[in-house]
Amino acid sequence: MAQRACPVGLLATDYYDNIHTFIDEASEDGHDFVASPLAHPSFRRFIEGTEEIDAMNSWRDSPVFQRKDLIVKSPKYSDLLVGVLAAWYRFDSPDHELQLNSELALKQELAWASHLGLLSVMLPVLPEKNVTNMARVLNNTMASISYTQLWIKVPVTSKEGGESPWKLWNRIRTLTEHSTKIHVALELTKDLPDDDELDRWLAEPVKALIVPHDVFVANPKQYPVLPKPHQDFVKIVMDKLRPNILVTLPEVPSFQNASPVTYHEYIRFLNRNLPELDAVDSFAAGYRDYLQAPLQPLMDNLDNSTYETFERDPIKYQQYEEAVYRALLDRDPDATKKTVVMVVGAGRGPLVDCCLRASERSKRDIHLYALEKNPNAFVTLQNKKEEEWQDKVELIFADMRTWKPSHQTDILVSELLGSFGDNELSPECLDGAQKFLKDDGISIPAAYTAYCAPLSSTKLHNEVASYKDLEHFETPYVVMFQQVCALADSKPLWTFDHPNPVFPCTPEGNPVNNLHNTRYQQVTFDVAKPMTMHGLAGYFESVLYKDVMISIHPDTHSPGMFSWFPIFFPLQSPVQVPAGAQVVVDFWRLSDKKKIWYEWAVVVKNKNDQQDLSITAIHNPQGRSYWVGL
């Protein structure tokens, strides 16, 4: 739980002459921190140029604060303080002087905040339409400030007739190249927009959530609480983004039992009562939005710790056991035969255990082989045989693609799946192994399908961008999604079926080449709300046997299974997807004699007239940045 605790602070609604008293009182009432203006309203005269001309000129030439223009005059309490910047900036003014004064004053305030050592400052107003000059000023100013971070206050709903705040934020973010120093302080309003619009914020760098007092309502006992839709959204944001939370207090108590303490206490109550983490979430806690290079289990040998991690999955082995169980019943309905079962890629043996349990439960006799090519895992297999399995299992140390079997099997069991299904070369390995399988034999899995969906995530984009090279933008990552939002539901790309009877073989039964394992698919997504697309989410769904499935696809995810996180294919340059546009994704699985790789490209089209709005490059041509070795 503690890891989901959000600090709760008090946002000043006035300019306090004695900021220290304000902070003391706020702390005594139990707030973790406060947010207060740094400068006094008198500072406004410089921004608006109403100061007398000589003073104005000398300020413009070298801006310095006069003590009387400051509310926060010293670094005392600076660890408890978020500085709120002046509210009178007019970066969008047609008056160049006003623009320029705003820029000079903002620099001055930020320099002061940085001198005080403030961790964060908040810009309290967005321009109504034109944010470009503001984006430029923020970008340039923040570049020279090393420590302090900026939050921009953005309301969740637009003013009557005003621009969508998300659209303004989206421009700022894109114009500043997704600056990692500029974040969102999302302000709740009495009315909330629909869920789609709220969900978009989950893909944004929301560092603070502002809950103004007028959003609270009274509960039957006359304490301040949030309406249900606000509660729900606050909880989701707490769970996914762990923001700082800022409440404001009314000047006069709104409800009978409302006191300065009750607002933050209610927020903390919500925070304590987030839904329990399920098995997957607890497992994933440390991995959220953390990019991992996908495994190369064929070229490399997996570590002991990797085996240990995925062997803890409570669901995967259950499903495999069930699949083998059903296959054994079908294969030997009268329990008269001895069914040959071969686990290929046995690792440290858990699928061998599944087969033994299935045999026991089905009361069907089996002859069990376990094949593995990793010499280290093979030692563990030998230990298990010595200590546990003994005669029940025969071990084979070999690569399934080249091993020459002495006889054939009824059931071939394997788990060579990656997050995208085929990305750990299951198709290539099983093509080699299917020569062990009798003509009417069963492969478990019988099939797997790759899925993809367009995805928005400032966080993931910035993680990839931090490497500052093209290569990392042409590499997929295994990642537990957290601060993301899909632009549309995912769609299937391609399927691999096993056994596969249709490719040309050598006399030994091996595929002559790998052409039959190449794939190409174009899928089109309709997008309802404007979004920035940063990449593609990838998933798989696999039929183990008949209706026994495993899936990491959001709609069909096997509950509690945590062996696989989704896969993320980034886009080099994020693309804008306006409302009602279509995202056309082209995806390829390609191969030469030594490797397989993926390429992907995106075209954003206007749905009505089919005009092209954005076209990306084809990513990873010839596997130049990323490939999986055969």
575 is a contact residue toward its own copies (CB under 8 A):
yes
Assess 377 for contact with ligand SAM (CB under 6 A): yes
Q: Is residue 374 near ligand SAM by the rule CB under 6 A?
A: yes
How big is the CA angle at 150 (ends 144 and 153), to the nearest 5 degrees? 150
- Going by C-alpha positions, the residue among 480, 491, 417, 452 that lies closest to residue 571 is 452
The position carrying tokens 């939370």 is: 245
Cα distances (angstroms) measured from residue 274 to each of 149, 167, 225: 28, 30, 16
Q: In terms of DSSP bridges, do strands 81-84 and 120-123 run parallel, antiparallel, or are they unpaired?
A: parallel
SS3 letters for 504-570? CECCCCCECCCHHHCEEEEEEEECCCCEEEEEEEEEEEEEEECCEEEECCCCCCCCCCCCCCCEEEE
- The conformational region for residue 390 under phi > 0 = left, psi -120 to 50 = alpha, else beta, is left
Establish if 175 lies at the interface with its own copies (CB under 8 A): yes
**Distance set, CA 196 to CA 27, 114, 201, 240, 241 (Å):** 37, 37, 9, 16, 17
Identify the active-site residue in 321, 424, 463, 599: 424
Active-site residue, selected from the candidate residues 103, 204, 322, 415: 415
Closest distance to its own copies from the beta carbon of 591 (Å): 11
How far is 432 from 446, CA to CA, in rounded Å?
15
Regarding 491 and contact with its own copies (CB under 8 A), the answer is no
Which of 222, 269, 612, 629 lies at the binding interface for its own copies (CB under 8 A)?
A: 612
Answer with the entry of its own copies, ligand SAM, none that 618 interacts with (C-beta below 5 to 8 A by kind): its own copies
Q: Which is nearer to its own copies, 28 or 177 (CB)?
A: 177
One residue of 21, 42, 382, 522 binding its own copies per CB under 8 A: 522
Residues 369, 229: Cα–Cα separation, whole Å? 56
Q: With CB cut-offs between 5 and 8 Å by kind, which of ligand SAM, its own copies, none does residue 560 bind?
A: none
Q: Is 307 annotated as a binding residue?
A: yes
Q: How many residues does the chain have?
A: 630
In the list 170, 414, 542, 551, the residue contacting its own copies (rule: CB under 8 A) is 170
Q: To the nearest whole angstrom, how small is the minimum distance from the Cβ of residue 171 to its own copies? A: 6
**Four-point Cα dihedral 426, 432, 437, 438, nearest 10:** 130
Confirm whether residue 372 is marked as ligand binding.
yes
| Cβ atoms of 178 and 465 closer than 8 Å | yes
Q: Roughly what angle, to the nearest 10 degrees, separates helices 260-272 and 228-241?
A: 60
DSSP for 154-206, please give it.
EESS--TTPPPHHHHHHHHHHHTTS-TTEEEEEE--SS---HHHHHHGGGS-E
Residues 323-352 that bind ligand SAM (CB under 6 A): 345-347, 350-351
Q: Residues 21, 222, 518, 556: which binds its own copies (CB under 8 A)? A: 518
- How many residues in the shown chain lie near its own copies by CB under 8 A? 54
223 is in an annotated binding site: no
Catalytic site residue 197?
Answer: no
**Of the candidates 27, 133, 318, 462, which one interacts with its own copies according to CB under 8 A?**
133
- The answer to whether residue 618 forms part of the interface with its own copies (CB under 8 A) is yes
61 binds its own copies (CB under 8 A): yes
63 binds its own copies (CB under 8 A): no
Nearest distance from C-beta of residue 409 to ligand SAM, angstroms: 14
- Whether residue 399 is annotated as binding a ligand: the answer is yes
Tokens of 447: 């099939």
Active site residue 360: no
Is 294 a binder of ligand SAM (CB under 6 A)?
no
Which residues, numbered 428-457, are part of the site for ligand SAM (CB under 6 A)? 429
Determine if 530 is a binding residue for ligand SAM (CB under 6 A): no
When asked if residue 599 is in the footprint of its own copies (CB under 8 A), the reply is yes
The residues assigned a catalytic role are 415, 424
Known binding residues are: 307, 316-317, 372, 399-400
**What residue numbers does the annotated binding site for S-adenosyl-L-methionine cover?**
307, 316-317, 372, 399-400
